[in-house]
Structure 1
């Protein structure tokens, strides 16, 4: 079992890199393993969250020496984020990157749900993944409409493309997005890492869609990004509310660094591209030193050992990007009709849900439905990739004669 707390890593003073070292060669979009792209997108989101957290910590920290340490580590994390994100190819369109983001959301969240030890937290991931699954389907149809290309080029048959919980039904009252947080004192340390990982990934999607949506001229593209970016904001609320608000800044700093060690270790173990694997290896060695710094700050300012926060057993099993088709089909068959009420899940369309739907839609068809209608108007059908057979929900099956990859 790999225990990051037992390793020192590269000394902090040796971690700054030159422009030459930061100028990494991007992946080849035509030859890359789709899950290599997914790992890059994931680690970009993880690094962005680490940087944003460090900035927020610095704004409330009165200790100048701690602020200086945060500033130095944050600069290194910023270099890491640039290296990771700059491995994505500039030739990829915004929609191609979007499809990659949604493939990450689907297969990352599905894996975490399958391995989450806490039943309530697992249900939170199972609920959310069915919505990202639907977003992938909507964007795949937009992709073919605007760029005359198929999502198969991006997802490579590893992830199916078909309706999930319809996006039109994902607009809920904000009160109902707030979940019950885990208890930091009794929760399995793996659950802390899972929650932070999925929160970071969803936050990245939210920010990306907020910024790229207005760059389109086509009305349907602008509208679809606007609608789904609002759902992603809901998802960030959904996942961030799972974190125990009683966690102080010192333990959250430690958890952030420990999580990065786990993920870089996980991706190093499974990466198929030697050049990308070398980045994961280097960044892991850097993060080990960041973790040691966070552990020392915890001891000095909180009077606790790091094992009291993240456990002493080492990191969980490596997080894997792998197909989750059977699992997702099971969720589609059993949880499609769920919505939220308070901090729980229900099947009835309650008053608050109905009120929110009326406020947004006013009896009109939202962009997520309109994009499918426009695709049918252009091609006579909708775009799907159903490698495992018809949709498990009969009412959502493709109409007779529709294309299936």
Structure 2
């Protein structure tokens, strides 16, 4: 059965306000919760924050006081939704444990979207990015065991492998080479707009999270690793946000934001095993349907267009959290040596890339390499979770004298 968000009725805005008791929801139990439930929570927190910040930016450019008030009202409800979603995260989980979950989101969400993306150029953008988040997960997993004496396997529950991706030290590129070509809003599949907005929002929230939690650590290697990967997450936000057509109007973007929230809440409601969390997804879905209707009215008023002109008439297939091990191993075996040049991708290091590498690393090993060396010194080897045979790149390497 198709679900058209533009014709479905939601909860009227004046009935969406909640009191404090409703906002302070019962958090997840990290020892009993499906890891993908936590992943869905992290995604929707990032989606809600992007919606809130977009509304603030729109309000700052809007001269109409009536519209500012309408945006403020909806934004207040969105802020309540964000608090409910984010307050689901378990308070007993450490920052590093939550970091592992953030990277599991980045790996399995981006991999799934890359598999489903209809535009080959956009697919390549997601495939390029996911191999870097895959390596971040590996670096943080080694830090996790060193600092907390705990294994990332408990967090990802075997759903996501933990092993090297494109080496983090190679992610530092000249800023010019992080800007991609945008899709054409007049020709692109509406699903591609949702994909770009979703991945951008998730990466943006990861960037924000690392910027804020990194300096809270006392261990020098932890502070340094968050600095390094935090800088790369900023690159990733640039990478993904540049995919969005800058010709989209403010009102078109507003509709896309609200439609995407409907899409994701509907997707996650359909697969959520935790009844309490599922009830939140369902409630927020019904709230977002009305917020989408309001956004559509604003688009008609200020753009003179119907929302049906920019979004799909029915929701696409649900966004799904599931293991992507075989797909990621294929990417490791075929794309691990890529870097970027301009809006494209190349296999050979070029002058601009090498110059920035020299400037940022200063001839020394970066924290992402030192954390692995420190783990080897302490435990005799690095930490990995490989569930489907040897690493697809390392298995092709010829043995060196020291390996024989």
* 1:381 aligns to 2:381 (yes or no): yes
* 1:269 aligns to 2:270 (yes or no): yes
Quick check: 1:163–1:396 contact (8 Å CA) kept in 2? no
Taking the aligned partners of 1:359 and 1:170, their CA distance within structure 2 comes to 14
**Equivalent in the alignment of 1:190:** 191
1:119-134 map, 5 Å: 119-134=120-135
Query: Equivalent residue of 1:13, what SS?
Result: helix
Query: Equivalent residue of 1:4, what SS?
Result: coil
Taking the aligned partners of 1:223 and 1:395, their CA distance within structure 2 comes to 31
Q: CA deviation at 1:16?
A: 0.3
Quick check: 1:141–1:382 contact (8 Å CA) kept in 2? yes
Count of aligned pairs between the two proteins: 398
TM-score calculated relative to the size of structure 2: 0.97
**Equivalent in the alignment of 1:37:** 38
* 1:54 aligns to 2:55 (yes or no): yes
Quick check: 1:173–1:356 contact (8 Å CA) kept in 2? yes
* 1:3 aligns to 2:11 (yes or no): no
Q: CA deviation at 1:222?
A: 0.2
Taking the aligned partners of 1:220 and 1:311, their CA distance within structure 2 comes to 47
Q: CA deviation at 1:394?
A: 1.9
Query: Equivalent residue of 1:84, what SS?
Result: helix
**Equivalent in the alignment of 1:403:** none
**Equivalent in the alignment of 1:323:** 323
**Equivalent in the alignment of 2:366:** 366
* 1:152 aligns to 2:153 (yes or no): yes
Unaligned stretches of 5+ residues in structure 1:
401-405
Query: Equivalent residue of 2:310, what SS?
Result: helix
Quick check: 2:40–2:268 contact (8 Å CA) kept in 1? yes
Taking the aligned partners of 1:23 and 1:86, their CA distance within structure 2 comes to 7
Query: Equivalent residue of 1:5, what SS?
Result: coil
Q: CA deviation at 1:311?
A: 2.8
**Equivalent in the alignment of 2:353:** 353
Q: CA deviation at 1:395?
A: 6.7
CA displacement, residues 222-281 of structure 1 (integer Å, 9 cap, x when unaligned):
000000000000000000000000001000000000000000000000000000000000
Taking the aligned partners of 1:9 and 1:50, their CA distance within structure 2 comes to 18
CA displacement, residues 112-157 of structure 1 (integer Å, 9 cap, x when unaligned):
0000000000000000000000000000000000000000110000
CA displacement, residues 331-375 of structure 1 (integer Å, 9 cap, x when unaligned):
000000100001100001000000110110111000000000000
**Equivalent in the alignment of 2:74:** 73
**Equivalent in the alignment of 1:336:** 336
Q: CA deviation at 1:23?
A: 1.5
CA displacement, residues 141-200 of structure 1 (integer Å, 9 cap, x when unaligned):
000000000001100000000000000000000000000000000000000000000000
Taking the aligned partners of 2:343 and 2:216, their CA distance within structure 1 comes to 36
Taking the aligned partners of 1:63 and 1:355, their CA distance within structure 2 comes to 48
Q: CA deviation at 1:396?
A: 8.8
Taking the aligned partners of 1:287 and 1:276, their CA distance within structure 2 comes to 16
**Equivalent in the alignment of 1:168:** 169
Query: Equivalent residue of 2:299, what SS?
Result: helix
**Equivalent in the alignment of 1:278:** 279
Taking the aligned partners of 1:182 and 1:395, their CA distance within structure 2 comes to 37
Taking the aligned partners of 1:329 and 1:315, their CA distance within structure 2 comes to 30
**Equivalent in the alignment of 2:214:** 213
**Equivalent in the alignment of 1:287:** 288
